[in-house]
Structure 1
Amino acid sequence: MSGPRKGKPVQPGQTVVVIGGGISGLATAALLAAEGHKVTIVEKQDVLGGRAYTFSEDGFRFDAGPSWYLMPEVIDHYFRLLGTSAEEQLDLVKLDPGYRLISEGASEPVDVPAGRQRVVQLFERLEPGAGARLEKYLDSAAETYTMAKRRFLYPTFQSFAPLLTADVLTRLPRLARLLLEPLHSYARRYVKNPSLQQVLEYPAVFLGASPFTAPSMYHLMSHLDLDVGVYYPMGGFARLVEALEKQARDAGGTIRTNVEVLEIETAPVTSRRRPAAVRGVRVRNGGGSVESLPADVVVSAADLHHSETALLPRNLQTYPERYWQRRTAGPSALLLYLGVRGVLPQLEHHTLLFTADWEENFKAIFGKDTFIPSPASMYVCRPSATDPDVAPEGHENVFVLVPIPPDPGLGGSGDERLERAADAVIGQLSEWAGIPDLAERIVVRRLYGPADFERDYHSWKGTSLGPAHTLKQSAFFRAGNVSRKVEGLYYAGASTIPGIGIPMCLISAELVVKRLRGDTSTGPLPVPLRAAGVAEGTVPKGTTA
């Protein structure tokens, strides 16, 4: 869907309200404050980070959501916009093995090592001839990833002219094939071993999609985990949230928590091409009082469905309810936060458990008649394998994510059905990973489900991720980051371009800057970020060169 015609750049010095203090909200606030705007974040919860918040219980510190650190150069680029770097802000450790795969019916787990050549050797050992085919697969993945970064991740799509370049036009036939063929069939042309097929197909889940519907364009994800590798920020993803918060505050931004936005306030206009313009937001603070915060610009980093259908009147909605009725939500999740007594060498830092009936498992989540699958494919994170500070001595920190249908009716924490499903998940993990006494060793147990995502984040259909990355919901087909009805209203986060995941959310913040500037280029902004009128060689306020 194309956006509105390019407007005049927004000059620095505007009053900006950013709705939401998650990854996208914090990142957007820091960049806009560095641009010279007067920025205030309003966050509904009492903690920052959104789905990436952190909580502690009985000596355990849990990352509530994201736990895979991928696309490190994208995250580093974001920090370099602000005059610093990921190396300065975070203590990153490369995981080796990157992750362990336990496939139903397989004779042994598969540990996926760090380093391309070692991965190629692994594929060759499990399937003679697959090593050479993987080399070709990863070459294609790397080329596609480079093209995506150069042309498709950083544009706002307010103009398609910058995409009409020789490198894009000459690749159109190949790009068309990658867009039209599902990842599932594409990957299976390279390997026959079921475990290796799952290694190439599972990244679709990172995109909130099924490998049976995600375009094979997304085989580029294999470049990230098999070529670049998987990292972990020591101290957990709380360190990333803290770094983003610091950048926002150092750039001059103001952050208010326990403040829920009730309405995006607008006023009719007659002299512009849109029927209304933002005037601010009406909020309710933790004490229950209601106030209006005036703003020249509002950036909603909240769920886009909620922003459009609940915070705006029907006549000013760019994406009304009928738009969402034709869209596919990414999966929700049953999340288990477990504190376990004793050690768990059966689990790596990242462990993936996949059912043999791969297609039926996805049909349970995305099909017409959805249900919580059992047995279920699941992801298990044991950060205490790398980071001793996330669990008391002699204990393990275990996070389990089970993709389930996006349906808040399935319940949230405390729901009896969810508790029974969690019991089944623990039993399955115990059996498949060879931990017979796992249930008896659990000393902390907390659950989180679709209804919790809906309550805490106003998440559309209780999805844990956002709109799935199907063909019709990727790149220029994904919801844009500007309102076509309200002047001064912009969007950031996983619901909008470029999509799901921490790196994508950081890019979405940069795309707000590009939209405000009227910048239609397809690549990332030069570093460091310089506001209009700032001399060459200087760096943003509050940062160091």
Structure 2
Amino acid sequence: MALVTPHAGRPRAVVIGAGIAGLATAALLAREGYDTVVVEQQPHVGGRAATWRHEGFSFDLGPSWYLMPEVFDHFFRLCGTSTSDELDLVRLDPAYRVFFEGDGAGGPSSVDVRTGAAHEAFEALEPGSSAALASYLDSSREAYDLALQHFLYATFARPTSLVRRDLLRRAPRLARLLGTSLERFVADRFADPRARQVLGYPAVFLGTSPERAPSLYHLMSHADLTEGVLYPRGGFGAVIDAVLRCATRVGVRVRTSSRVVAVRTAPLAGARGRGPRHEVTGVELAGGEVLPADLVVGAGDLHHLETALLPPRLATYPERWWRRRDPGPGAVLVHLGVRGRVPQLAHHTMLFTRDWRANFDAVLGRRRRVPDPASFYVCAPSRTDEGVAPADHENLFVLVPVPADATLGGGGLDGAGDPAVERVADTAIDMLASWAQIPDLASRVVVRRTVGPTDFARDLSSWRGGALGPAHTLRQSAFLRGRNVSSRVAGLLYAGGSTLPGIGLPMCLISAELVVKRLRGDTSGAPLPEPAAERPGVRA
């Protein structure tokens, strides 16, 4: 990658972490006039959305659902380009397939959920439920619009920004949505436990359970059942490559294999009152090199930055703050290269056990343990994109939620991971083979790689080995989530899934925009204005 010579006189920004949030933040900062460098501890970019290639297979290491396309569209327009110029998106049909555990009288049942025709699946599960589903989706669309217009693009720097006439009119409904769990909200409308599982599952995208998530998050059903589920051809590494292009076009430099060990600060001249008394001066890398900076953005794990890269006296969110927080789930990831085809699976497939509550309590409750059996998720991108696997092979990505506990162990290649992690993988493979009727699945595996909570903690500095980030419970949502600016160090801001607005690739893109809004003093809840259209064929 060609390096760009810094321009004299431009403010200097260092972004910690080259995941999607870090790369997006760097791209927007450079467009704001900052001489920007991104430092990444791994030898590659992407963070949780990185790619692993092995023996002709291309595996996404984390995110695999492309939802909320308008967020991506807006980000690319901010960068002077477009989604259509950067990505080749495919609409999935079905959006996903669900296998349900049998009741003992027969095998597991399954249903395909199709965007715009979800009533067909729900009628199969609960005859006569179409009207209830239509009403539910109307409500989810309203909640989705409410979140986009008032919450997701807000920094909450000024509490009075929430005191708006149109929002106050909706206050009673908003209070009900925040005060009712997603589980209760769904149960009041649907009787069949399988239908409830389909509508409650989006809570997992938010790092929590239907019981713990506010019902405001039923907005996620608008994203998958109404807007639809897309897939970027080439995998989610293609999304990272696109955001990286947006950054490098405007001069951002990316340094991989560069681990930050400290954020450097100095007393802030003229500091008084209750504001910050120190300011950033740069970051120190392992080995002693110091990169000077006028602005530092921590786009990795917020817990790590606050408790490991700053002295305790300068931490806005010290260790005692985290003791009262929910880290969300951990995960065992299993990447499988499989000989032959697996038409029994859709691009996205979920396997739901009957004892839904017991699964979530095992992963997120007070006495946390690996659930057995576990509900889990399988992505088979080769069902859509033949380029991610060799000819006549399939690429499978299995995600089994487990507690966020770095002591559970790490993974490895060809069964070489820690025993607890490999047992989870073995159980999931056997269960998938049985439920989806692929009896010879295990014998057809030609590539196997596992990832466990220890790997998340070591490679991503993830708090407690969590897979996603702090859970979206009521006390960890919107303005109750960790803010994106240090209250003790001027010039230190945050981006990524552990700060505002939260977990997921769209939220990480928005978090990059919230950094710019902080710098501009923009306290609105609206997205940043998009630049005027550029000449065809010309990009910044």
Range class of TM-score, shorter chain: over 0.9
1:39 equivalent to 2:36? Answer yes
Q: Which amino acid aligns with 1:62?
A: F
Give the superposed CA RMSD: 1.4
Query: SS at the partner of 1:39?
Result: strand
Q: Is the 8 A contact 2:153 2:527 kept in 1?
A: yes
Does residue 304 in structure 1 map to residue 305 in structure 2? no
Measure, in 1, the Cα distance between the counterparts of 2:534 and 2:301. Answer: 32
Q: Displacement of 1:543 after TM fit?
A: 5.8
Match of 2:418 in 1: 415
Alpha-carbon distance in structure 2 between the residues aligned to 1:539 and 1:491: 30
Distance apart, 1:83 and its partner CA: 1.3
Look up the match of 1:341. Answer: 339
Give the Cα–Cα distance (whole angstroms) in 2 for the partners of residues 125 and 331 of structure 1: 31
Report the equivalent of 2:280: 278
2:348 corresponds to which residue? 350
Q: CA deviation at 1:525?
A: 0.8
Q: Distance in 1 between matches of 2:489 and 2:27?
A: 23
Residue number in structure 2 paired with 1:201: 200
1:499 alignment partner AA: G
- Asked whether the equivalents of residues 82 and 543 of structure 1 are also in contact (C-alpha less than 8 Å), the reply is no
Other structure's SS at 1:109 match: strand
User: Which one-letter code corresponds to 2:79 in the other structure?
Assistant: L
**Residues in 1 aligned to 2:249 and 2:336: alpha-carbon distance in whole angstroms:** 36
Which residue does the alignment assign to 1:449?
452
| Secondary structure at the counterpart of residue 330 of structure 1 | coil
> Could you tell me how far apart the structure 2 residues matched to 1:476 and 1:14 are?
29
Is 2:219 the counterpart of 1:220? yes
Q: Which residue, 97, 109, 113 being the options, matches 1:100? A: 97
The one-letter amino acid paired with 2:385 is: D
Query: Whole-Å Cα distance in 1 between the matches of residues 534 and 409 of structure 2?
Result: 48
Q: Helix, strand or coil for the counterpart of 1:445?
A: strand
Counterparts of residues 239-278 of structure 1 (less than 5 Å): 239-272=238-271, 273-278=275-280
SS in structure 2 at match of 1:444? strand
Q: What secondary structure does 1:290 align onto? A: coil
In structure 2, distance between residues paired with 1:401 and 1:360: 18
The aligned amino acid for 1:68 is W
2:17 equivalent in structure 1: 20
CA contact under 8 A between 1:122 and 1:131: conserved in structure 2?
A: no
Q: Specify the alignment match of 2:5 in structure 1.
A: none
3-state SS of the aligned residue for 2:336?
Answer: strand
The answer to whether residue 408 in structure 2 is matched with residue 386 in structure 1 is no
Q: Which amino acid aligns with 2:285?
A: V
- Is 1:175 the counterpart of 2:174 in the alignment? yes
Q: Distance in 2 between matches of 1:68 and 1:394?
A: 24
Aligned AA for 1:507? I
Paired with 2:44 and 2:519, the residues of 1 have a C-alpha distance of 28
User: Which deviations, in whole Å up to 9, do the C-alpha atoms of 1:179-219 show, x marking residues without a partner?
Assistant: 01110010111111222111100000000011111000000
Residues of 1 paired with 2:52 and 2:120: CA distance?
40
Q: Which residue of 1 aligns with 2:87?
A: 90
Q: State the Cα distance separating 1:35 from its structure 2 match.
A: 1.0
Counterpart residue identity of residue 516, structure 1: L
Asked whether the equivalents of residues 82 and 539 of structure 1 are also in contact (C-alpha less than 8 Å), the reply is no
Whether the 8 Å CA contact 1:14–1:296 is kept in 2: the answer is yes
Letter in 2 for 1:67: S
What are the equivalent positions in structure 2 for 1:360-439 lying under 5 Å apart?
A: 360-413=358-411, 414-439=417-442
The equivalent residue for 2:115 is 114
SS in 2 for 1:446: strand
Q: Which of 328, 345, 348 pairs up with 2:326?
A: 328
Q: Separation in 1 of the partners of 2:157 and 2:42?
A: 33
Residue correspondence of structure 1 range 50-89 to structure 2 within 5 A: 50-89=47-86
Deviates more, 1:262-271 or 1:196-205: 262-271
Q: Which amino acid aligns with 1:148?
A: A
> For residues 307 and 162 of structure 1, what CA distance do their matches in structure 2 show?
28
- Is the 2:80–2:533 Cα contact (8 Å) retained in structure 1? no
SS in 1 for 2:197: helix
Name the TM-score, length of structure 1 as normaliser: 0.94
Q: Please tell me whether the aligned partners of residues 101 and 109 of structure 2 are also in contact (alpha carbons under 8 angstroms).
A: no
Are residue 184 (structure 1) and residue 183 (structure 2) matched? yes
Q: Which amino acid aligns with 2:515?
A: V
Letter matched to residue 220 of structure 2: M
Amino acid of the structure 2 residue aligned with 1:278: V
Q: Within 2, Cα distance between the matches of 1:233 and 1:523?
A: 27
Which amino acid in the other structure matches residue 113 of structure 1? R
User: What secondary structure does 2:289 align onto?
Assistant: strand
Asked if the contact 2:433–2:439 (Cα under 8 Å) also holds between the matched residues in 1, the reply is: yes
**How far apart, in 2, do the equivalents of 1:488 and 1:189 lie?**
47
Q: Could you say if the C-alpha distance between residues 443 and 538 of structure 1 is closer, same or farther in structure 2, counting changes exceeding 3 Å?
A: closer
| Distance (Å, rounded) in 2 between the aligned partners of 1:44 and 1:425 | 31
Q: What per-residue deviation string (whole Å, max 9, x for no partner) do you get for residues 353-401 of structure 1?
A: 0110000000000111111111110000000000001111111000000
Q: Take 2:429 and 2:75, find their aligned partners in 1: how far apart are those partners? A: 38
Aligned length: 519
C-alpha deviation, 1:459, in angstroms: 0.3
Q: Which amino acid aligns with 2:252?
A: G
Moved more, 189-198 or 447-456: 189-198
Corresponding letter in the other structure for 1:281: V
Query: CA deviation digits over 1:217-236, x for unaligned, max 9?
Result: 00000000000000000000
User: What amino acid is the match of 2:44?
Assistant: V
For 1:179 and 1:168, the matched residues in 2 are separated by 14
| Structure 1, unpaired ranges of 5+ | 1-11, 529-536
TM value normalised by structure 2 = 0.94
* AA partner of residue 393 (structure 2): H
Matched, 1:478 2:473: no
Q: Report the CA distance between 1:270 and its aligned residue.
A: 4.2
User: Which consecutive segments of 4 or more residues in structure 1 shift more than 4 A?
Assistant: 537-540
The one-character-per-residue Cα deviations of 1:29-62 (angstroms, maximum 9, x if unpaired) are 0000011110000010111000100011111110
**Residue 3 of structure 2 corresponds to which residue in structure 1?**
none
Gap regions ≥5 residues in structure 2: 1-8, 412-416
What amino acid does structure 2 have at the position aligned with 1:492?
A: A
CA contact 1:250–1:543 (8 Å) conserved in 2: no
